[in-house]
Structure 1
Amino acid sequence: MIVYEYPFNERIRTLLRLEDLYEKFVFFAEQSDPLQHHVALSTIFEMLEVAGRADLKSDLLQELERQKQTLLGFKANPNVQADRLNMVLDEVDRISSALMATAGKTGQHIRDNEWLMSIRGRTIIPGGACEFDLPSYYAWQHRTREERLTDIFAWFAPLQPLFEAIAFVLKLLRETGRPTKIIAQAGSFQQMLQGKVYQMLRLTLDERIGAIPEISANKYMLWVRFTTQGGDMKPRPYDHDVPFDLALCNF
């Protein structure tokens, strides 16, 4: 099964992009080759570009506080497992405290590092990080794997609380969706939303079908149109019935 996620607003779109960048960063940082560590460092620069477009820290703190108040409302419910609820509340407090303790603008420690900023300025140019452009960076890439890893994780460390908060908020959001089994007749599906506001759509599909969903949605209507790819990779309409699971997520 393959899961496609569609954000209904710019805020969730930003969180999903940062989550994707974090997964990419972790993968390449754990590798051994200097070229893979170059991708990990470049990914940190991409994180700054995305995170710098919104006041993520305050938004996440507000959302965590809102979720905490919602969870506290369940304490009087006898059907709720108290131990499990307390564990979640402790996790909210821990993540909120760590995020609140981060000082200044997101990634400011990177912006204050002239050496890193010189690398960032060159990496946006195709082939701009060659050894003759950045000899000091080329020398750093020839350090041991352990030395490079120490530096990379030290540069990323101030961003860690932000990404823990993002992961927690997205986890809670995904858990609000209740999957419904649907069949798209002749590769197309529409659903009226009657103005109800959602934040994310999750579509689960058997990848063996070979269908690819193209999703568009607003607060009034959801439209899913399925396509398929030939040998030239050009998308073509998928005209067969497509069974899939649909979950609409909202706090």
Structure 2
Amino acid sequence: MITVICYELPLNERIRILLRLEDLFDKIDFFSAKKTSFEHHAALVALFEILDITSRSDLKSDLLQELDKQRALLDGLRKNPEVSEEALSRILLDIGTTFRGLLEIPGRIGGHLRDDEWLMSIKQRMSIPGGACEFDLPTYHYWLHMDPEARQTDLRSWIMPLSPIRDGINIVLNLLRNSGKSFHHTAVQGVFQQAGAEHQAHLLQLQIDNELPCVPEISANKYALNIRFISMQPDHKASIYEEDIPFKLTFCSL
């Protein structure tokens, strides 16, 4: 059985932000479920990165607009015999619940974190390489030595108000990925080019055999798509993987 690895390339800044936030939320889930102070520190680092990203974008309004757009599109499919009424009702319910949750977020995203002076003092020190050592932040050092369950309770209280944001991101990205149109191609001697704008997309997915010792370098615009497969050498020097490579390319669009 062939195992594939999927590479995703966002084609606009809005999708790029959603993918970054998805990755950070996944890291918080992983590290906050663990017990050690190092893992809970990593969860807090990811939380602060989410705070930085959301402070530089109109994420809340973007998600509200996109959810409203998708709700209208999906509602128009109610009488389509090829669409499961049960699945459609479920996603529309999720959209409605998440939409209301986003509206209920007071002010800026992460305001409850910014209002916590202790957390912000930690965040400020973490911006300095090695700045979260015990001699810099003794109160944080104390927190890291509390019972793991107490730290997990704190982490949940800091993360929970962001749930509507995460739910909105998950809905939009799931709809985007499920919209994909896939094509099978071969990169001749490690290179593939496609001209024209017949496949407009917000996200590209490229799948190749996990056993192939190469990774794709993808550049795309409305005029052309260029893919080079770079050989993964032991010395990490970049060079074209000069063999024919079959791959699956998926164009996803909202």
TM-score, L = length of structure 2:
0.96
SS in 2 for 1:70: helix
Q: Secondary structure at the match of 1:132?
A: coil
The Cα shift of 1:196 comes to 5.4
**Retained in 2: the 8 A contact 1:189–1:223?**
yes
For residue 126 of structure 2, the aligned residue among 123, 126, 133 is 123
Greater than 6 Å deviation, 4+ residue runs: none
Q: 1:88-128: CA deviations, max 9, x gaps?
A: 11111111111111111011111111100000011111111
Q: Which amino acid aligns with 2:208?
A: L
Partner of 1:247: 250
State whether residues 199 and 251 of structure 2, in contact with CA within 8 Å, keep that contact through their aligned partners in structure 1. no
The whole-number CA distance in structure 2 between the counterparts of 1:113 and 1:230 is 47
Aligned to 1:207: 210
1:111 corresponds to which of 109, 114, 132? 114
Could you tell me which runs of 5 or more consecutive residues in structure 2 were left unpaired when the two chains were aligned: none
- 1:28-87: CA deviation from partner (whole Å, max 9, x where unpaired): 111110111011011100011111111001101110110110011111223322222111
Q: Distance in 1 between matches of 2:198 and 2:11?
A: 13
Report the number of matched residues. 251
Matches within 5 A, 1:154-193: 154-193=157-196
Distance in 2 (CA, whole Å) between partners of 1:80 and 1:241 is 39
Structure 1 residues without counterparts, runs of 5 or longer: none
Give the equivalent residue in structure 1 for 2:105: 102
Quote the Cα distance in structure 2 between the aligned partners of 1:58 and 1:140. Answer: 35
Shift of 1:8: 0.5
CA distance in 1, matches of 2:84, 2:29: 34
**1:146 aligned counterpart, secondary structure:** helix
1:36 alignment partner in structure 2: 39
1:195 to partner: Cα distance: 6.8
Q: Distance in 2 between matches of 1:106 and 1:184?
A: 43
Of 21, 24, 31, the match for 1:18 = 21
Contact conserved, 1:5 with 1:200, CA < 8 A, in 2?
yes
Q: Hey, what's the Cα distance between the residues in 1 that align with 2:137 and 2:87?
A: 52
Q: Are positions 1:55 and 2:58 aligned together?
A: yes
CA contact (8 A) 2:200 2:251 kept: no
Deviations 1:178-217 (A, max 9, x none): 2211101110111123275310000011110112000001
**Superposition pairs for residues 134-149 of structure 1, below 5 Å?**
134-149=137-152
CA distance in 1, matches of 2:191, 2:81: 44
In 1, are the aligned partners of 2:218 and 2:227 still within 8 Å (CA)?
yes
User: How far apart are residue 245 of structure 1 and its match?
Assistant: 0.4
Q: Is the contact between residue 195 and residue 220 of structure 1 (CA under 8 Å) also seen in structure 2?
A: no
- The amino acid that maps onto 1:234 is K
> Are the aligned partners of 1:196 and 1:220 in contact in 2 as well (CA < 8 Å)?
no
For 1:108 and 1:84, locate their aligned partners in 2 and report how far apart those are by CA, in whole Å: 35
2:239 aligned with 1:236:
yes
Partners of 1:78 and 1:209 in 2: CA distance: 42
Q: What is the letter of the counterpart of residue 230 of structure 2?
A: T
Matched residue, 1:89: 92
